[in-house]
Amino acid sequence: MKKALIGLALLAAASSASAATYVGGSIGTGLTVHLQNDLDATSAVRYGLNLDAVNLFRGGALALGGDVAYLNDITGQDLGGLSPYYGLGLGAYVSLGSPTGVSVYPNGILGLKFQVADPLSIFVEGSAGPSVTISSGGTGIGFGFGARIGLNYQLP
């Protein structure tokens, strides 16, 4: 029994060691730093910390938040070195300013990534979905969208 448990532990360690981990950042609708872990050869999970300035210089709000996204490659596409992908994400934000409140943003994601050099890749992506907000200015459901260009660095 001990040998079987040790074998399973070694197998789990070997399979998780082959999955790549990336750190990176992006700019666009907001400023983001993220950590991305490959689940397998075609899918990954990304965790982000976001800073969004929404009309900040015109009496608006500064939104701090985070998001998690499941990303999956679209295989079989030859786009000259560009790799398309899609995903689903969920973001949550706290707005500080006028108005103060909380927002939740479930969204769909479409993007393209390009491998620049072995540890370095760049990406561009867009997201869209409903946005639910509860704030000092009222409660509402609207349509949210975002766009970003970013950089991933694969950790050794």
Is residue 6 situated within a structural domain? Answer: no
CA distance 29 to 100: 19
Both structure tokens of 82: 């560009």
CA distance 36 to 69: 9
Name the average pLDDT for the chain: 86
Structurally, the chain folds into a number of domains equal to 1
Confidence of residue 56 (pLDDT cuts 50, 70, 90): low
Q: Please give the pLDDT value at position 76.
A: 84
Q: Provide the domain limits for residue 65.
A: 21-154
End-to-end CA distance of the chain: 34
- Mean pLDDT, residues 35-43: 96
CATH of the domain at 105: 2.40.160.20
For CA atoms 153, 21, 30, 74, the dihedral sign is positive
Instruction: Give residue-wise pLDDT tens across range 93-131.
Output: 998 877 789 999 999 999 999 999 989 999 999 999 999
Other beta carbons within 10 angstroms of residue 44's beta carbon come to 22
Confidence of residue 136 (pLDDT cuts 50, 70, 90): confident
Cβ–Cβ under 8 Å, residues 132 and 95: no
Other beta carbons within 10 angstroms of residue 8's beta carbon come to 10
Which has the minimum average pLDDT: 4-18, 32-46, 86-100?
4-18
Model pTM? 0.81
- Mean pLDDT, residues 31-40: 96
Instruction: Give residue-wise pLDDT tens across range 59-98.
Output: 667 889 999 999 999 988 778 889 999 999 999 999 887 7
Is residue 5 situated within a structural domain? Answer: no
SS3 letters across the chain = CHHHHHHHHHHHHHHHHCCCEEEEEEEECCEEEEEEEECCCCEEEEEEEEEEEECHHHCCEEEEEEEEEEEEECCCCCECCEEEEEEEEEEEEEEEECCCEEEEEEEEEEEEEEEEECCEEEEEEEEEEEEEEEECCEEEEEEEEEEEEEEEEECC
Is residue 32 situated within a structural domain? Answer: yes
Is residue 15 situated within a structural domain? Answer: no
Both structure tokens of 60: 């608006």
Is residue 2 situated within a structural domain? Answer: no
